[in-house]
Structure 1
Amino acid sequence: MMHSPVVSKAAANWNSYQLADILSHCFEGYLVSFTIDGETFATRFASEDISLNDSVVWLQDGEPKALALITRRGQTCRLAAFAIRPELRGQGYGKRFIQQLIDAARLRGDKNFWLEVIVGNDSGIALYERMGFVRQQTLVGFHGTGSGAYRTTDELVEIDPLLMAKKMLTDSRLRLPWLSAAETLYKLPGKAWVLDEAAYAMVIPHAKQSKLRMLYVAPAARGQGKAKKILTLLQERFPGLSTAASVPEQVAPLYLSCGYRQDPITQYEMLLKL
């Protein structure tokens, strides 16, 4: 059966529920299984500053075959998700699609193009390196091992997540992965706490498993055990607390010393300077 050429359209032509279905459909058979519903799609990618006009759906015979989600902040863009249907893989479409995204980023005047790729996705890593992306750091995730009863403490004071984000934004030396950046955090449906007006944490509470999205200690208070203390208190408040695979690997000893176990799934953060 002859197929028509693959054509591209801006993702703005679909709503969040349709894009969630397309993304899940295109991720079929990938190294790590992935599915997402429309509500989660809208919440997650809004916090990451998705640009639907710059995100792309590729179609063949009218059917979605690939999807790239682009998030943007200033002159920096990021490939937040990229998936191709099994029937198009191994035919050079990945290189073709990524080149289209790079060309579009240059045309917009973007200066930096970021992405994350799962360690073990050898073909994906090889593709990105051929396109000029360079590994910057390894990102890891953790799971709390606590299984005790929920316990509150007066030492943790709840604050507006926006206040935590503003505190982080004043730290000019702070360079965090996109998912942990201050610009992402305050848009998420989470809660923030402060310990001793020095250590901050952002958590998305959930009945099954709460997610720790960010841990931050003000520069003047570092080296005083504040990070370890707030991590321990959070485990008591949220037994089984976990993180996304967006924690810089160099911070791993802190989490491990607090009884967290490292998730086997890790990612490379990669950068293309345009």
Structure 2
Amino acid sequence: MTLPPASALTARPVLDFPSAHVAAAMTRSFQGYFVPMLFDAASFERRFRGEHLDPAASRLWFRGEELVGVVFIARRGWQSRVAAMGLVPEFRGQGLGRTMLGSALEEARQRGDHTMLLEVFTVNEPAIRLYERLGFRRVRQLLGFRREAGVAAGTAEVLTEIDPLELARAVLRETEEPQPWLSSGETLLSATKPTQAFRLHHHAYALVRPDAGR
């Protein structure tokens, strides 16, 4: 396969495509990723509506008519965030991500945005090197937890299902430090069914959001 130079790439805004097309492009661009990324049109819209994805600033990248990858940009006020960036497997490791993300950064500067945020898994060292070369700096580390289905839990507690809007308001009310984009009250305000929210007494809250096929 002959790999394209960066100058051979073209980008089109997400605004030009139906949701099903964009969801399929994202799924393909994240094939083999650390965390499964499987989207259909409904789960794509449900996920990114709350993140304030800007379809005019987000891009699908191509070589001719062949999909190369995606860069999705979310925006709030003077901040932008790389909501998703991925390349289809055959175009990875060729330095094309630098062109794609560099273009997004230049467009953010032209808009007058003050900051661009992103999150990356600590094991994704090639991506971290790219981001640092482009001027990103580490500000904090987020932690995640996983428990396999069927593993016996501890003492059973009765959860109360609540309106997701109640959870969002609790986050906005109870937190002072800026929260990660995905768990901020601004994001949670958009949660609607089939997403579910639960409360354990008035001390802990959980949001359960279905993805495509699970």
Classify the TM-score, shorter chain.
0.7 to 0.9
Does the alignment pair 1:204 with 2:185? no
- Partners of 1:39 and 1:137 lie apart in 2 by 32
Q: Deviations over 1:30-65 (max 9, x none)?
A: 455533222211111112111111100111121221
State the AA in 2 paired with 1:202.
A
Contact 2:161 2:196 in 1 (8 A): no
The 3 A distance-change label for structure 1 pair 205 and 150 is farther
Q: Deviations over 1:143-197 (max 9, x none)?
A: 35753699663xx55543323323332456232111111111132222242624x
Does the alignment pair 1:119 with 2:114? no
Contact 1:11 1:19 in 2 (8 A): yes
Q: Deviations over 1:48-102 (max 9, x none)?
A: 1111111001111212211011111111111111011233333321111111000
Q: Deviations over 1:92-120 (max 9, x none)?
A: 21111111000111111211211111122
Q: Deviations over 1:194-247 (max 9, x none)?
A: 624xx24132277xxx9xxxxxxxxxxxxxxxxxxxxxxxxxxxxxxxxxxxxx
- Partners of 1:24 and 1:179 lie apart in 2 by 19
Aligned to 1:193: 199
Report SS of the residue matched to 1:137.
Answer: coil
Does the alignment pair 1:176 with 2:182? no
- Partners of 1:107 and 1:50 lie apart in 2 by 18
Contact 1:168 1:174 in 2 (8 A): no
State the AA in 1 paired with 2:52.
D
The 3 A distance-change label for structure 1 pair 2 and 168 is closer
State the AA in 1 paired with 2:90.
E
Contact 1:69 1:81 in 2 (8 A): yes
Report SS of the residue matched to 1:8.
Answer: strand
What's the C-alpha RMSD, in Å, of the aligned pairs? 2.8
Contact 2:167 2:197 in 1 (8 A): no
Stretch deviating more after TM superposition (181-190 or 54-63): 181-190
| 1:96 aligned residue (94, 99, 105) | 99
Aligned to 1:231: none
Report SS of the residue matched to 1:134.
Answer: coil
Aligned to 2:60: 57
Higher strand share: 1
Structure 1: runs of 5 or more not aligned: 211-274
Tell me: higher relative CO, structure 1 or 2? Use CA pairs within 8 A at least 6 residues apart.
1
Contact 2:79 2:116 in 1 (8 A): yes
TM-score between both structures, scaled by the size of structure 2: 0.82
Stretch deviating more after TM superposition (125-134 or 172-181): 172-181
- Partners of 1:205 and 1:37 lie apart in 2 by 14
TM-score between both structures, scaled by the size of structure 1: 0.65
| 1:17 aligned residue (12, 15, 20) | 20
Does the alignment pair 1:166 with 2:172? no
Structure 2: runs of 5 or more not aligned: none
The percent identity for this pair of structures is 32
